[in-house]
Amino acid sequence: MTPYRSALPTGDDGFPALLRAELTKLRTVPGWVMAGAVAAALIVGFALLASGGGHSRGGPPPRDADGTPVVDRFTFVHRPLPADGAVTVRVASLTAPDGPEPWAKAGLVVKAGTSPGAAYAAVMVTGAHGVRMQHDFVDDVAGPASARWLRLARAGDVVTASASTDGATWSTVGTTRLAGPAEIGLFVTTPPHETFDQFLGGTSASGHPVLATAVFDGLAATGVPASGWETLAVGAGDDPRALVGAAAWSGDTVTVTGAGDIAPAVEDGPGLEQTLVGGFVALTVMVILGVLFVTTEYRRGMLRTSLVASPRRGRVLAAKSVVIAAVTFAGGLVATAVALLAGKGIMGDAVHPVSALTQLRMVVGTAALLAIAAVFGVAVGTILRRGAGAVAAVVVLTTLPYILSVSAVLPVVSAQWVLRVTPAAAFAVQQTVREYPQVNAAYTPAFGFFPLPPWGGFAVLCAWTAAALAVAAVLLRRRDA
């Protein structure tokens, strides 16, 4: 007698079939599908909510040619420079009442006009960072530390900055291009004295404006009209409380005072990452889904069926992770892209401009963050086998460090440490504002600055997830289901 054989063809037991099975389990629970849809809707909804309403106080800051918001305020003792020419000067001293700020600046600048935001090239003595050549607001090149003689020369449209310790032997600090009629001359400026701290829900920026004083001598110029030097406080009209510098001549010596800065504006209006605040809600929803994806199988006994159908347990865990990650990533990508574009449209000019590449990183990064967090949920759910503890663990690990750091509950040093080692570091993928070494600003989590680079922070979450998956795989194999 022949044993019974089913007439149905043997099912495929490869990994694709397993993926299909897990996808079917995921998409056939109406509550889960609805939760995912609600999460996506919340991402978009909070983007609309967060980007409406208030805008930055005061007028918009000046922008440079690329549209980067800049600070451009200094005392300018200048003459027109129609074509080629050069100016040489010695910075005899750079002082301020309480000592010069590290980034107080005194030196020579050639600028395409005197309106704030116009292109420039400058060589300067700084308070504590030696001689620098800076141009176009973001570029900063170090020169000899002890030099006090500065020269700025233009030939064709190439501007060459040189420095010297004795006025005889010169070394080139850097070159850049600046075409067309320009203004050339002496400048002095200094950022205000500021220190930053944060603790217990408060951020403190304590400081006061400073007026720096520089004494120049040995001034020599070629290629400029013979008429006298004019003094102008560039950009002083912005703020009535700002200190305004002046220039005083005494023979060959000129004493110039100035305040302000020539640098990229670091804190300026709302950041574009505000549009992605709904990602936190979505994160919580997706973590719950990830946990339930496993713990429901334990609860209903479904896991025993799953493991009979696919006895290699590691593959079941892998299939679950792949499915929930892929679904979350796809949905998250669409939702965050819509949220970002809609929020950007509403905020308009008020938002700090962000390059297209950064926007792409924010969208892809947030979607990936959601996907990996869901996998983290799967792994922790497998380890704990109970929903409540797993959800609490993942939500606390991802959002509590963020709250403690960003809402300034912890002091800066601890907050940065927390955002380096906890999964919350992954929110660095949403960071929009660059950190500039030549600008003294509050580079703290409360102002949206993460201690790790965007993908570095994301890697921290990936490491946590990989570790949790490894533990989950071992436990799933060892324990009875």
Partner 1 sequence: MRAALHAEWTKLRTVSAPAWLVLAAAAATVALGALASRAVTCEPGCGLDATKISLTGLQLGQAVVAVLAVLAVGDEYRTGMIRTTLTAVPARSTLLAAKAAVVAGAVLAAGVVGVGGAMVAGRLILPGQGFAHLPATDGATLRAAVGSVLYLVLIALLSLGVATLVRDAATAVGAVLGLLYLLPILLMVVSDPDWQRRLRRLTPTEAGQAISHTVGVDTLPIGPWSGLGVLALWALAALLAGAALLHHRDA
User: Residue 304, interface with partner 1 (CB under 8 A)?
Assistant: no
Among 43, 46, 124, 457, binds partner 1 (CB under 8 A): 46
* 309, two tokens: 């159908």
CA distance 322 to 200: 40
In sequence order, what are the beta bridge partners of 197? 204
User: Residue 54, interface with partner 1 (CB under 8 A)?
Assistant: yes
User: Residue 392, interface with partner 1 (CB under 8 A)?
Assistant: yes
Nearer to partner 1, 51 or 176 (CB): 51
Q: Could you tell me which stretch among 86-94, 116-124, 231-239, 290-298 binds partner 1 (CB under 8 A)? A: 290-298
What's the closest the beta carbon of residue 54 comes to partner 1, in angstroms? 3
CA distance 336 to 281: 12
- DSSP code string of 81-131: E-SSEEEEEEEEEEE-TT---TT-EEEEEEESSSSTT--EEEEEEESSS-E
User: Residue 55, interface with partner 1 (CB under 8 A)?
Assistant: yes
Q: Are strands 182-189 and 171-177 parallel, antiparallel or unpaired?
A: unpaired
Counted residue by residue, the chain has a size of: 481
In sequence order, what are the beta bridge partners of 215? 93, 255
* 272, two tokens: 């574009």
User: Residue 389, interface with partner 1 (CB under 8 A)?
Assistant: yes
User: Residue 1, interface with partner 1 (CB under 8 A)?
Assistant: no
Radius of gyration, alpha carbons of the chain: 30
User: Residue 109, interface with partner 1 (CB under 8 A)?
Assistant: no
- Give, as ranges, the residues between 190 and 209 that touch partner 1 (CB under 8 A): 199-200
What's the closest the beta carbon of residue 296 comes to partner 1, in angstroms? 8
User: Residue 403, interface with partner 1 (CB under 8 A)?
Assistant: yes
User: Residue 370, interface with partner 1 (CB under 8 A)?
Assistant: no
CA distances from 300 to 294, 324, 390, 457 (A): 10, 20, 17, 37
Q: Could you tell me which stretch among 48-56, 218-226, 449-457, 467-475 binds partner 1 (CB under 8 A)? A: 48-56
What's the closest the beta carbon of residue 52 comes to partner 1, in angstroms? 8
The helix-helix angle for 313-347 and 356-384 (nearest 10°) equals 140
Which stretches of the chain bind partner 1, using CB under 8 A? 46, 49-50, 53-55, 199-200, 270, 274, 277, 280-281, 284-285, 287-288, 291-292, 295, 299, 386-392, 395-396, 399-400, 402-404, 406-407, 409-411, 413-414
